[in-house]
Amino acid sequence: MKGRLEQFASQNVKQIHRLILSPQMQQALHLLQLPILELSTAIEEELTQNPLLELSDEEDTFPEEFEILKALEEDRPTSPNSHVSKEEEDLKAFIENTVTYENSLFNHLMIQVNETFTALNERELAMAIIGNLNHDGILTTPIEEIAALSSTTVDQLIPILRVIQTFDPPGVGAQSVKEVLLIQLKVMGKHHTLAFRIIENHYEDVLHNRIPAIAKSLSKSVQEIRNTILHEISHLDLHPGTNQSEGHYKQPDQHLVPDVTIGFAEGKFSIEINDEHVPTLRLNKIYLEMLQDHSTPPETRSYIQEKIASGKWLLRNLHERHQTLHRITQELIKDQAAFLSTAKGQLIPRTMKEIAERLELHESTVARAVANKYINSPRGILPLRSFFSHAYTTEAGENISAQTVKDLLSHLLAEEDKKAPLSDEILSTMIKEKGIPCARRTVAKYRQELGIGNTTQRRLH
């Protein structure tokens, strides 16, 4: 019996080697990946969770190592509570003012709901429908799902939806882009026009530019179909929920705030890491005094020590984020000096792996550092990620970036004859003739990334 138990135990005891990131390392990676505005929000959240951290007037956010701790302990505010409150209000005001909102689509529609429906249950159903519209004002959620969540039936929702589809802006409440166009044509009194018939019966043909097929089916000339699409259909609004022309229910304007600024003056580059919107932190003096007080209970002392350690790690991780961005930018300047300092300079292709090896960092660290961040440079505000691309080697042995190839492709497509657009194979050959190896499938990939249609979609009949 004893032998069987020992055998059972030996079969189930395993030694597993597993790499587990510490909470401090997870925080470091998280902060490194955040763009400047999200970093501000993350720090504000940390302030609410760690009572030992508070905002400071100190301008120097990143002293070497933990010298900040000594500086903060020597700085005793006369009124810490009022000071923190003011700083928090300033931070919140900045975050709120960074994104500007105009009258929302939901509010605009709910005003019309209250003016149209008198019964409370109808208003509630209308609200359920409007709450499921996407930012374009289109109902992408199945009506059956809304009915189930609202404890009602589809038959009760459909009449409400039809009324909503008569609201301003025209096309709102449609269940597809096709329906958006049909609703707008109805509102314009074009229910019996050629434009309506084209969308109603040949919507897919319009998308694929099959003009001759539409003309043949409707017994019209190709020119008449083309003119109708150009003058009556192309001007319709595909995104009624973001009606820019009317100036309301528009999407929030996202203001880009660069994380890094590169200056160039008198032949020299300068680097400035944006920490203007990152609140400066310090340790709360009151808690530090409690830690020095021998009468403080052991459990309280343990709690304070834990939060001090957490605060020091946050300060260190912020410092590391600052340093990593600075070092990466320095390396980019070494490689891209011509691009950054002259209008006709071209990007030299560099991969994240190359930069990581030069800085003795892991490639994933560089990837996190450049993610979702922008750089303000003499060439304008650019995604930091755009400085890394695949390399092409010309026949002359010169390295060029993938972005340069895309620019060339855009130029070729802009110059083509729209009545006989160039195929991806021909485009590939034309690029190769310039000494740049580029396969047909690569041309197709770049064309799609540029938002340019295929040969059929670009052809003018």
**DSSP string for 297-344:** -HHHHHHHHHHHHHHHHHHHHHHHHHHHHHHHHHHHHHHHHHHHHSTT
Q: Which of 48-57, 65-74, 242-251, 352-361 has the lowest mean pLDDT?
A: 65-74
Instruction: Tell whether the model's pLDDT for residue 138 goes beyond 80.
Output: yes
Contact 355, 230 (CB under 8 A): no
% the chain with pLDDT above 70? 79
The pLDDT, as a whole number, for residue 392 is 60
DSSP, collapsed to helix, strand or coil, labels residue 406 as: helix
Average pLDDT of 204-211?
87
Confidence category of residue 175, pLDDT binned at 50, 70, 90:
very high
d(CA 381, CA 359): 24
CA 391 → CA 15, 428, 437, distances in Å? Answer: 45, 17, 11
Phi/psi at 261 (5° precision): -120, 130
Distance CA(402)–CA(446), nearest Å, equals 9
Among 350, 226, 413, 322, residue whose Cα is nearest residue 34: 322
**Domains in the chain, ordered, with CATH?**
37-96+255-388 (no CATH), 105-242 (no CATH), 395-458 (1.10.10.60)
What is the average pLDDT score of the chain?
78
Nearest CA to 430 out of 455, 410, 452 is that of 410
Query: In the structure encoding, which two tokens stand for residue 207, read together?
Result: 């998308």
Q: Lowest-pLDDT range, 266-275, 291-300, 419-428?
A: 291-300
The one-letter amino acid at 212 = P
Task: State phi, psi for 264 to the nearest 5 degrees.
Answer: -140, 115
| pLDDT tens digits, one per residue of 296-336 | 888 888 888 888 888 788 888 888 889 999 999 999 999 88
| Residue 271, beta-bridge partner list | 262
pLDDT computed for residue 461 by the predictor? 63
pLDDT at 397: 57
Tokens of 362: 């892991």
How far apart (Å, rounded) are the C-alpha atoms in residues 446 and 390?
Answer: 12
